Structure 1
Amino acid sequence: MLLDHLVGLYTHPKQEWHTIDEKHEGIGASLSHLLIVAILPPVCAYISSVFIGWQIGVGDPIFLTAGSAIFMAIGMYIALVSGVFALGYLTYWMSRTFGSEPEYTQCFEVAVYTATPLFMSALGAFYPHIWFLMMVGLVGLSFSVYLLYTGVPILMHIPEDRGFIYASSVVTCGLVLLVTIMASSVILWNFGFGPQFVS
């Protein structure tokens, strides 16, 4: 069933990781989970930037044109899905260094399910004030990191002490991917693909 593990990851993460490890439903289940959950940030960003307006400090809200917002939402969706695939591959690539021999499916599951709280924090965009979004994003990121540290030893079948170092390496790779995506966005904006604001 789609989004089968969503509630369990929030209510009892360690038990849910064991369930994911026992079932190993295959890449199809993880991919469908990713494709559904990754649509939240672009949709929320589109709605808030076109219909609600972003509040930055004092002054009037800032709106984007519908065409510009849809273009950016599509780009965001592609970047999020690609980023999770890349994180899964980097997790797989590093696995032998830490004494684990997983299949790519296991690494992809780690990447997909740990990214879920971060993607879900996009619901905060319905109250688009910078300070609020930063707080919600920080909570989502913190829970994603927690899921990563609890899930890596279970899915990779390694001791917790080695899993801690492995998960720390995955976090580092995730930060590098995030910076790469942000840098790519800035480069694209310089080539004329930036946002267009409602005047």
Structure 2
Amino acid sequence: MISHVPGLFTHPDQEWQEIRREDESVSHMYLTHILILAAIPAVCAFVGSTRVGWTVGNGSAVTLTQASALQMTVMAYLAMLAGVAVMGAFIHWMAQTYDANPSRSQCLVFAAYTATPLFIGGIAALYPSLWLIMLVGIAAAAYTTYLLYSGLPTFMGIPSEEGFMFSSSVLAVGLVVLVAMLACSVIAWSLGVGPVYVS
């Protein structure tokens, strides 16, 4: 639930143990955590791209039409929800290799909490400056990686050496999922679902 978010930033090791002890269903996890946090970058990107805009060089601010921004926001939101589900399914499948026996819902919970810094970092989209978004994105990705590597052995109850290999596999799949989402975006743009700028 959202109540675990502050603990993941202040005392992650203790928070992972508390999260592990809970028994959340997939539907409860989506309703109380994923649907809410995934909306942060989506809503912020909508506001930033329609109200603030971004500048290229010394030109004036470029903004999207509300219809175009809404369409792209909904697609990004659905992609984030699907991404967490895919990562949870992979973690569940991979856990058998490391003699861990988490349930599918526990793996989804782990994937969702690990992605929390990325969701919260989406606040930077309110002011779509390339440098700001890049700096916040790097910081969010770094902390997500830290949560993955430090939390997975604790959450799965496996030795840290195995946890490192498991975490590396999860990170590699996460990068593949990201590239797949970018490829789908390019395909969608080529089919006419690209951005429409305010003239």
Question: Which residue identity lines up with residue 186 of structure 2 in the other structure?
Answer: V
Does the CA contact (< 8 Å) of 1:41 and 1:123 recur in 2? yes
Q: For the Cα contact (< 8 Å) 2:62–2:197, is it kept in 1?
A: yes
Asked if residue 71 in structure 1 is aligned to residue 71 in structure 2, the reply is: yes
Report if the CA contact (8 A) 1:56-1:129 is conserved: no
Query: Are 1:21 and 2:20 matched, yes or no?
Result: yes
Q: 1:24 deviation in Å?
A: 2.5
- Cα distance in structure 2, aligned partners of 1:161 and 1:57: 48
Ranges in structure 2 where 5+ consecutive residues have no aligned partner: none
What's the secondary structure of 2:54's corresponding residue? Answer: coil
Structure 1 residue 101, shift from structure 2 partner: 1.8
SS at match of 1:183: helix
Structure 1, unpaired ranges of 5+: none
Aligned 8 A contact 1:106 1:156 in 2: no
What is the CA-CA distance between 1:55 and the residue it aligns to? 2.5
1:39 counterpart SS class:
helix
Separation (CA, whole Å) in 2 of partners of 1:112 and 1:135: 22
- 2:176 aligned partner: 176
Deviations 1:7-57 (A, max 9, x none): 111110010000001123333442220010000111000000000012333
Amino acid at match of 1:83: G
Query: What's the counterpart of residue 103 of structure 1?
Result: 103
- Rounded to whole Å, the distance in 1 between the matches of 2:97 and 2:24 is 26
Residue 4 of structure 1 aligns to a residue in which SS? helix
Residues 180-199 of structure 1 mapped to structure 2, 5 A cutoff: 180-199=180-199
For residues 95-132 of structure 1, give each alpha carbon's deviation from its aligned partner in whole angstroms, at most 9, with x where no partner exists.
11122121111111111001110011011112211011
Q: Is the 8 A contact 2:114 2:147 kept in 1?
A: yes
Q: Does 1:114 align with 2:114?
A: yes
Aligned to 2:2, what secondary structure does the other structure show? coil
Match of 2:58 in 1: 58
Shift of 1:148: 0.8
CA positional deviation for 1:182:
0.4
Identity of aligned residues (%): 42
**Aligned counterparts of 1:128 and 1:65: Cα–Cα separation in 2:** 15
Where does residue 130 of structure 1 map in the other structure?
130
Match of 1:163 in 2: 163
CA–CA distance in structure 1, aligned partners of residues 160 and 58 of structure 2 = 48
Distance 1:125 1:57 in 2: 19
Aligned to 1:48: 48
How far apart are the structure 1 equivalents of 2:95 and 2:102?
7
Q: Which position in structure 1 is the counterpart of 2:87?
A: 87
Q: Which amino acid aligns with 2:47?
A: I
TM-score with structure 1 length normalisation?
0.96
**Which 10-residue stretch deviates more, 64-73 or 120-129?**
120-129
1:57 and 1:97 map into 2 onto residues whose CA distance is: 51
Specify whether residues 30 and 57 from structure 1 end up closer, same or farther in structure 2 by C-alpha distance, changes over 3 A only: farther
Any residues of structure 2 matched to 1:1-40 within 5 Å, and which? 2-32=1-31, 33-40=33-40
| Kept in 2: contact 1:56–1:130 (CA 8 A) | no
Structure 1 counterpart of 2:22, one-letter code = K
